[in-house]
Amino acid sequence: MNLSLRTAIGKDAAFCESLSRANMAVYHRARGIDWDPQRFQASWLQFENLMVLAGGEVVGLLRLLAEGDALAIRDLQLLPGQQGRGIGSWAVERAKALARERGFHRVVLRVYADNPARNLYLRRGFVVEATVDDTLHMACPLDLADSTPPVSTKELR
């Protein structure tokens, strides 16, 4: 499977919002949280928005934000039919490679405790640093000397 990232463009925003909203609906509903399109649009301008591609087709999104000494994965969503195929693991490793390349010492994220994605993050080296309400705050320390190949600029077209 040929996987790559590309920088999102304006027309990708609607797809990304729709995918995030759909994938997170069960968790939001369980917590009485209403989707806020204005909040998503504001974050679109603030975050680094990347499209995840498999064989040249968009299959998901990866949204990143610098937070002090860490690069935060603020959103990682895949189309339901693409989940469980290793694409999420690949995307997490790409985020870690980008963080190393940019000199960050760790990658952080938040995930609901009942979201099965927490297992992906644990397998990829993340540890729970705190639990706030029903949200796990996780981090993965980075060895900046790690030999993981950097993400090429060609990959981020």
Q: What is the mean pLDDT of residues 114-132?
A: 96
Q: Which amino acid is at 66?
A: A
pLDDT digits (tens, 9 = 90+) for 69-85: 999 999 999 999 999 89
- pLDDT surpassing 70 at residue 8: yes
Distance CA 35, CA 45 (A): 18
Which pLDDT band, with edges at 50, 70 and 90, does 146 fall under? low
- pLDDT surpassing 90 at residue 21: yes
Question: Which pTM does this prediction carry?
Answer: 0.89
pLDDT digits (tens, 9 = 90+) for 96-110: 999 999 999 999 999
Residue in 136, 88, 140 with CA at minimum distance from that of residue 110: 136
Query: Count of alpha carbons within 13 Å of 37, Cβ hemisphere only?
Result: 4
Q: What is the mean pLDDT of residues 140-144?
A: 89
In the prediction, which pLDDT does 143 show? 84
pLDDT digits (tens, 9 = 90+) for 34-68: 999 999 999 999 999 999 999 999 999 999 999 99
Q: What is the mean pLDDT of residues 5-17?
A: 96
- The conformation of residue 156, written as its DSSP 8-state character, comes to -
Q: What is the mean pLDDT of residues 112-139?
A: 96
